[in-house]
Chain A
Amino acid sequence: MVRRLSEDMVKGILGICAIFSIIIIFLIIIFLFREGLEAFSYTNVIDFVLGREWNPSKETFGAAAFIVSSLFVTVGAIIIAVPVGLLTAIFLAELSPQRVREVVKPAIELLAGIPSVIYGLFGLIVIVKYIRITLDQPTGESILAGSIILAIMILPTIISISEDSLRQVPRAYKEGSLALGATHWESIARIIVPSASSGILASIILGVGRAIGETMAVVLVVGNVEKLPTSFFDSGEPLTSTILLEMGEAAVGSPHYYSIFALGILLFLIVMVLNIVSNVWLGRGLKRG
């Protein structure tokens, strides 16, 4: 009896540990929305999302420039990271000799482990300077600089998930293709990659989620100018940068403070949708394979 009781007690405690993540998510949602929804008593949702002007001193809060900047930076990062990442994943899954793999895999893990603020520092000193001087731009602090640094940061995500799904493609597909007289590359391009496409897509969506939510690497290189960017060489200010830069200035309980949390809601929703889509996609890919 006593043993039964103590086991039940332990099970209860461990159960609480297990649902802790979910409790935190609920708390995040509650506190983010409690503060953020307040903003919509000053600005209606449509004006907030589509408004061009963000001026805390006039209490005008339109986030369009930040949203567009976030999209720009992310699209740029994906354009750069997907080809390099996918090809590296194919290399690891299909071509790499074991010895080379033993070097490349830990290197990619390390790339994922470098703190984002260090990426920012590197981006500011190397990439921004390169864009300004070599590409002869008025300012190097640009969407492009942000895209490049984000691309490097999301490479590990794209590579490791894509590689996993490429490895899960049944060996029989490859053998079947080779037995029909296909070259190795033809088998990769026409059979293996298409068969892994759902996992690859999931990795890209996850990469988008990481890129759009990244703060420190971006804030140091994009210039932080509150206007709608029209080209990759323009400066911009993504959602994350605004939150970081303006939290310190906003008085708790002011419309400005609530509006920053509203930006947080926006960001949170975008990233959560992307993550859930990616998870569903990954699950589906696994079931079919």
Chain B
Amino acid sequence: MVKMEVHDLNLWYGSFHALKDINMKVYKHKVTAFIGPSGCGKSTLIRCLNRMNDLISNVHVEGRVLLDDKNIYDKDIDVVNLRKRVGMVFQKPNPFPMSIHENITYGPKLHGKKKGLDELVEEKLKDAALWSEVKDILGQNAMDLSGGQQQRLCIARCLAVEPDVILFDEPCSALDPISTGKIEDLINELKRHYTIVIVTHNMQQAARISDYTGYFYLGELKEFNKTKKIFTNPDNPETERYITGKFG
């Protein structure tokens, strides 16, 4: 089942054409990975899916991005509500400089939740596989956690607003291998309830955790296929050259 669809998407930073005619689908309760050399547009595309690119001045977008068949670039779209449905976890862990508890409840409180916050914190921290490590220090400043713990806190924070889709923008690039492993296991768990899109510069990671993979090069989506197919028998010879490490 299709959760999101990208149709003829083009994006310019000023006069620089950063995304060219992108067409692809994001399937429900699957993990979709974007790979490619740095600067290829994979992060730009993922930031189109929750309109984070709106924050950058002189960005111009053409084309359509559908979420449950509704174009998120339509005029009548409520961007705030969109970002609630399509959550995001960033490259560098970015917890707010407040307590662990407050980090989790920040989103739900904004959206009007007043009761059952403690239960919510416990539930989401458990979902993010962080509960056992922090259950006694919920009042402590989140900045004191390790990098890997901070990133799982950011995931829990994202889960707390109950999104449909979670976007991961290179979530492990600032983490050590052990923390990376934990996050990968977590993503595998999460896809049972959420639709996941992940940008990664690490091909093995894409191969390990994703169901579908898109290969980007210079703003173009060169190939989009099932991960198994991409990594064993890609349609596009360029993809094969990248996968096998002959280039990039």
Contacts and interface: CB of A to CB of B under 8 A. Distances in A.
Complex contact flag A–B (Cβ < 8 Å): yes
Interface in B77-112: 80-81, 83-84, 87-88, 90, 92, 94-98, 106-107, 110-111
B158 A172 contact: no
A182 B52 contact: no
Interface in A178-215: 178-183, 186, 190-191, 194-195
| Main SS at interface, chain A | helix
Interface residues of A, number: 19
A190 B158 CA distance: 17
Interface string A156-196: 00000000000000101111111111110010001100110
Contact of B107 (A170, A172, A181, A195): A181
Given A172-B90, A173-B94, A180 B55 contact: no
A179 B55 contact: no
Contacts of A191: 96
Contacts of B30: none
A195 B81 CA distance: 25
Contact of A179 (B52, B95, B111): B52
A190 B106 contact: yes
B152 interface: no
A288 interface: yes
A179 B87 contact: yes
Contacts of A179: 50, 52, 83, 87-88, 90, 158
Contact of A182 (B88, B94, B97, B110): B110
Given A180-B87, A182-B110, A175 B97 contact: no
Given A175-B52, A190-B106, A181 B161 contact: yes
B128 interface: no
Contact of A175 (B84, B94, B98, B110): B94
B154 interface: yes
A195 B97 contact: yes
Nearest to A97: B57
B157 interface: yes
Given A181-B110, A190-B106, A176 B90 contact: yes
Contacts of A176: 90, 94-96, 154, 157
Interface in A77-121: none
Given A180-B110, A190-B106, A173 B90 contact: no
B52 A180 contact: no
Contact of A288 (B88, B92, B97, B157): B97
B97 A172 contact: no
B94 A180 contact: no
Given A173-B94, A173-B96, A177-B96, A183 B106 contact: no
A183 B97 contact: no
A200 B55 CA distance: 25
Contacts of A182: 80, 106-107, 110
A70 to B, nearest CB: 36
A288 B144 CA distance: 12
A180 B106 contact: yes
Given A172-B92, A175-B52, A190-B106, A180 B161 contact: yes
Contacts of B158: 179-180
Interface in A20-66: none
Contacts of A183: 80
A181 B52 CA distance: 11
A35 to B, nearest CB: 48
Contacts of B87: 179-180
Nearest to B82: A181
B65 to A, nearest CB: 16
Given A179-B52, A179-B83, A181-B83, A186 B94 contact: no
Given A180-B158, A181-B80, A182-B106, 14 more contacts: A174-B55, A175-B90, A176-B94, A176-B157, A179-B52, A179-B88, A179-B90, A180-B107, A180-B157, A180-B161, A182-B80, A182-B107, A186-B110, A195-B97
Interface of A: 170, 172-183, 186, 190-191, 194-195, 288
Interface of B: 50, 52, 55, 80-81, 83-84, 87-88, 90, 92, 94-98, 106-107, 110-111, 154, 157-158, 161
Q: Which 6 A-B pairs have the closest CB atoms?
A: A181-B84, A172-B94, A180-B107, A179-B88, A176-B94, A181-B83
5 contacts: A175-B88, A177-B106, A180-B110, A181-B80, A181-B111
